[in-house]
Structure 1
């Protein structure tokens, strides 16, 4: 079975085609550009399929990172995955983007993953090992985390931005997600029958939207 994995929850626009039966990555495309998710994603999908000499109709499952991430970029990947899923009539499996970054580390000791949430904040989560998240992802200012992550290894672009807080930064590990890791993680869960671990393909924002529906309207007509 072929898995097509993609993620746009971070500045990385990443796509991978994975052969679950053969346990191998057939092709990948990874680009860093926080402003061009919509322009880069579909050409990346085409390039990956072309390099593997496959078409979309060969894909048996779609895997998509659900974040956490900024609204604009995150929705590009999710909308694309859902559109492909609906057109092809195949399942769309959601996974936490931070889990994909964690899985790629291969670490077997506790650590933290942090990505840039902008506004001087990070999206982050703790892990017991590369496959086991401890608690839910959160968004916080780095200074608020200092006591919780002291002495722990850390990975991710968010950790690199705030090295004074993430003092256990592992610069030897990739800071950004590759869809290849997301695909491998999904394939492992499918092989183990861990279907309940997949998330709906819906965005994990963690923040409230900036735009709010007014609750108090000013009366401008005569009473």
Structure 2
């Protein structure tokens, strides 16, 4: 097993190569405006560091969000293109699940990332590998009661500490391709089928088809 994992659902552009037991190489850069520019060079860098080629990879794993439309589709489109070029399967895993897995908590907790528009993407977990609720997108104040008393992980929790009083600054803020790959490897080894790489946008994109054109006559 040689998994190439990537995620662009959060401000982090993150890539990892995993052999089923450990990450052989990783790359991560936090820049919410340069996903398209940074992703493929990161893939090349990870493969070169591990001394492998794309032809050696047996499967790809891509974070399916939730995340902002533009950033999320960069990772999904790139994974689809690489998978097609190499003739290998492409699996999808939730980006919040990778944050939860990287947190490593054994108690109930919540993961929240920044959804912009003064909202968060969030999900509730029984432990690092078991999601109980979500993902969903809400204003922090609307879910404050539901997450009260729970440790909170992720950039969204840090951005709205009044709604997430249990926020943990010592735990991951963004998605991690290394965690994504480790979680995928664990589930594949257990005989589980992974999901299709379909995006969890949770809301419509900002772009709209213009309306109200003024008629022009001659």
When normalised by structure 1's length, the TM-score is 0.93
Q: Is the contact made by 2:14 and 2:26 (CA closer than 8 Å) also made in structure 1?
A: yes
Given the alignment, which residue of 200, 210, 213 partners 2:206? 210
Separation in structure 2 between the aligned mates of residue 208 and residue 42 of structure 1, nearest angstrom: 26
Q: Residue 209 of structure 1: CA displacement?
A: 3.0
Q: Residue 12 of structure 1: CA displacement?
A: 0.2
Separation in structure 1 between the aligned mates of residue 215 and residue 40 of structure 2, nearest angstrom: 48
Q: How does 1:35-184 map to 2 (within 5 A)?
A: 35-184=33-182
1:159-201 deviation per Cα after TM superposition (whole angstroms, max 9, x unaligned): 0100111000111112112100000000000000111xx2211
- For the structure 1 residues 219 and 53, does the alpha-carbon distance in structure 2 shift closer, same or farther, using more than 3 Å as the test? closer
- Tell me the equivalent position of 2:192: 194
User: In angstroms, what is the RMSD of aligned CA positions?
Assistant: 1.7
Q: Is the contact made by 2:9 and 2:175 (CA closer than 8 Å) also made in structure 1?
A: no
- Tell me the equivalent position of 1:19: 19
Separation in structure 2 between the aligned mates of residue 218 and residue 178 of structure 1, nearest angstrom: 45
1:93-144 deviation per Cα after TM superposition (whole angstroms, max 9, x unaligned): 0000000000111111100000000000000000011010012200000011
User: What are the ranges of 5 or more consecutive residues in structure 2 without an aligned counterpart?
Assistant: none
Aligned length: 217
Separation in structure 2 between the aligned mates of residue 219 and residue 44 of structure 1, nearest angstrom: 46
1:6-40 deviation per Cα after TM superposition (whole angstroms, max 9, x unaligned): 000000000000011xx111000010000000010
User: What are the ranges of 5 or more consecutive residues in structure 1 without an aligned counterpart?
Assistant: none
